[in-house]
Structure 1
Amino acid sequence: MATNLPPEYFEADKRYRAAKTPGEKISCIEELLRIVPKHKGTDKLRAGLRKRLSKIKITAQAKKGTGKRESAFRIEKEGAGQVVLVGPANVGKSALVSALTNATPEIADFPYTTWKPTPGMMPMENIQIQLVDTPPLNRDFMESELLDLIRRSDYILLVVDLQTDPVHQLEESFAILQEHRIMPDHLKELFTEQRGLIFIPFLVLTNKFDNDNFDENFEIFCELLENDWPSIPVSATTGRNLEQFKRMLFDRLEIIRVYSKAPGKHPDFKEPFILKKGDTVEGFAGKVHQDFAKKLKTARLWGTAVFDGQLVQRDHVLSDGDIVELQI
């Protein structure tokens, strides 16, 4: 299909080629995107322009960050865990972050809209989990700071588009991450002899599971992967399975919520302490105050595995929802 570009496009393209500063180049490409007609014949051209724009913006941001400014890729961890969404362009990462959190990343139906990470807080019952939208994984251009962000994260959500060859998208994304020595935690046993690998828990989010018509697509997707990858189908557009996904992510983060109680008072249910599964009363005491772990004698516990108010020792393993009254 012919692109049928108007004369204004070629004039703007000349200005782009003559531009010297990143700001001038960004303005020119944004003008080109406004001029290019939107139809199938210009899809590749628009994608190329978005990709070029993304590279220039990231490079410009990196140069700004060489001074005292913080890099856009340095996202401080907040909430019960930091979870990054990765994957190819146009699979709906930004739409998912927008649907699940308070963040408002730029969303468009063409690729390379996202050029820097965007964090948002996802509520899950009475806690918040940090989700981070990221630029697309791309062999031709991978910002080293993006890789650092992924390596520092607590969990990776690999997003694919269920309606557009999700197996290829997953394999390509996995290959790119593997080239940079970032590996799924569930495959650790297959790579025991390789050194220098970073293993992080993964979950595959198969987005655009918009209605029942795509049930078979997801079944075929799982069969082709031989169920080797943990996955859940969701839809950012309709909200389908998003609540189930929240619970699944909470469980897979392997965290628990523990509530503090002062003697003679009601427990504080508003802000639970977040611990890892397997943590003990002693670990909880250290979370409340660094000196409490040393001074701790015993504790009273309310929970599913004990009698209400039962005395327990400092090495008692806690469960999600436990209420602890420390005896200092």
Structure 2
Amino acid sequence: MPANLPPTYFEAEKRYREAKTPADGITALEEMLAIMPKHKGTDKLKADLRRRISKLKSKQQQKKKLGRRDRSYTIEREGVGQVVLLGTPNVGKSALVAALTNADPPVADFPHSTWKPTPGMMYFENVQIQLIDMPPVSKEHTEPWLLDIARRADIILVVVDVQTDPMQQLEETVSFLKDNRIAPLGMADLYGVTDRWTFVSFLVVANRSDDQSTEENFEIFKSLVEDDWSLIPVSAKTGRNFDLLRQTLFTNLEIIRVYTKVPGKGPDRKAPFVLKKGSRLEDLASKIHKDFLEKLKYAKVWGKDVYDGQMVQRDHVLQDGDVVELHM
């Protein structure tokens, strides 16, 4: 039986062939399906149109998923710790990351020049710490990924501009985080029910502390801060207190570097094993290889809290900088 298709069908078919998007194509195909006469002669054509509609809808769904992924960011962890920089607009977060790392975030004198996370690696002695430059915090609109990255961080570095109302900037940033159930580590007792909260180590840096003329600003800011914050005046312009900042970040990560050696040879100090503070000898052995843990008899340690070559057992607590010689 012939299909006997009306002229309006062919007009819709033309729109389908000229469609620029899956949505336009679906609209035209559905129109063709509605116009088509209902009899046996059109059964195969109807089935073909439905297949095309299904294919375009699948394509449309894929594009939506890709679009969602485009607006989501996952930063792969690198180095010995991850530090996220947060603050209100135009406090100099990007300039700090650019000065401290190998990253090249957009640095501008106008606010909101950063719209996506930019990671960079900062050296502290023989290890690297990952810094992530983030868009400014805003109560008006916040991408969910910004909060996800902040929650996964080891440290949140709150950046304020010491020259332009740093107290208000600190309050806005901390208030924004608290509104989203992110609070400083060590303050869990203040929030009652804590199972829905994320507690992260906080550190505050007063950027643009470029010279002696800003000392008074910093002292006033420090006197106004009521909570027990760690405050460091820094300058992305001059590098002021960068060494102190690096050391403080490393200390707040609560990790240690341990070096291994074989009998009769010195340690390789370029590639330390990084462990959590409080780790024992058995934790080091396990990290090197599971066989080491099973076969370990004792170790000799060189460090601050032992005499050179002191023999220790599995439960010995290691310190940052220890050199360990394992014996099986």
TM-score of the two chains, using structure 1 as the length reference: 0.77
Contact 2:101 2:122 survives alignment (8 Å):
yes
From the superposition, tell whether residues 229 and 184 of structure 1 become closer, same or farther in structure 2 (CA, over 3 Å): same
Would you say the 8 A contact 2:103–2:119 is kept in 1? Answer: yes
Q: Name the structure 1 match of 2:136.
A: 136
Question: Pairwise mapping of residues 91-106 of structure 1 onto structure 2 (< 5 A)?
Answer: 91-106=91-106
Change over 3 Å in CA distance of 1:319–1:191 after alignment to 2: same
Write the distance in 2 (CA, Å) between the matches of 1:202 and 1:163: 21
1:88-130 CA distances to partner (integer Å, 9 max, x unpaired)? 1110000000000010101000011111111111011111111
Deviation at 1:62, TM superposition (A): 9.5
Aligned equivalents of 2:154 and 2:293: distance in 1? 25
Aligned pairs for 1:86-235 (under 5 A) are: 86-226=86-226, 228-235=228-235
Aligned position for 1:249: 249
Give the SS at the match of 2:248.
helix
For the residue of structure 2 that corresponds to 1:146, the secondary structure is helix
Task: Report if the CA contact (8 A) 1:72-1:117 is conserved.
Answer: no
**Take 1:238 and 1:172, find their aligned partners in 2: how far apart are those partners?**
27
Shift of 1:265: 2.3
Q: Which residue of structure 1 aligns with residue 238 of structure 2?
A: 238
Q: Which protein is bigger by CA-based radius of gyration?
A: 2
- Amino acid of the residue matched to residue 254 of structure 2? E
Coordinate RMSD, CA, aligned: 2.1
CA displacement at 1:324 relative to structure 2: 0.7
> Take 1:290 and 1:108, find their aligned partners in 2: how far apart are those partners?
50
Q: Distance in 2 between matches of 1:75 and 1:130?
A: 10
Change (3 A) 1:126 1:65: farther
Instruction: Give 5+ residue unaligned stretches, structure 2.
Output: 1-20, 22-62
Deviations 1:153-181 (A, max 9, x none): 11110001111111111111111111111
For the residue of structure 1 that corresponds to 2:187, the secondary structure is helix
User: Aligned to 1:201, what secondary structure does the other structure show?
Assistant: strand
CA distance in structure 1 between the partners assigned to 2:321 and 2:67 by the alignment: 42
1:305 maps onto 2:305 in alignment: yes
Task: Report if aligned partners of 2:188, 2:194 keep a CA contact under 8 Å in 1.
Answer: no
Which deviations, in whole Å up to 9, do the C-alpha atoms of 1:181-206 show, x marking residues without a partner? 11011322322444311100000011
Tell me the CA shift for residue 65 of structure 1.
5.9
Contact conserved, 1:72 with 1:116, CA < 8 A, in 2? no
Answering whether residue 237 of structure 2 is matched by residue 268 of structure 1, we say no
| 1:227 to partner: Cα distance | 5.3
Count of residue correspondences: 268
One-letter amino acid of the counterpart of residue 189, structure 1: D
Kept in 2: contact 1:98–1:104 (CA 8 A): yes
Partner of 1:81: 81
Query: Quick one: distance in 2 between partners of 1:280 and 1:308?
Result: 18
SS at match of 1:271: coil
User: Structure 2: how far apart are the matches of 1:74 and 1:291?
Assistant: 34
Distance 1:75 1:290 in 2: 30
**Per-residue CA distance 1:57-106 (angstroms, 9 max, x = gap):** xxxx9964646x8x762111111100010111110000000000010101
Task: For residues 232-261 of structure 1, give each alpha carbon's deviation from its aligned partner in whole angstroms, at most 9, with x where no partner exists.
Answer: 010001111111111111112211111011
CA distance in 2, matches of 1:180, 1:291: 45
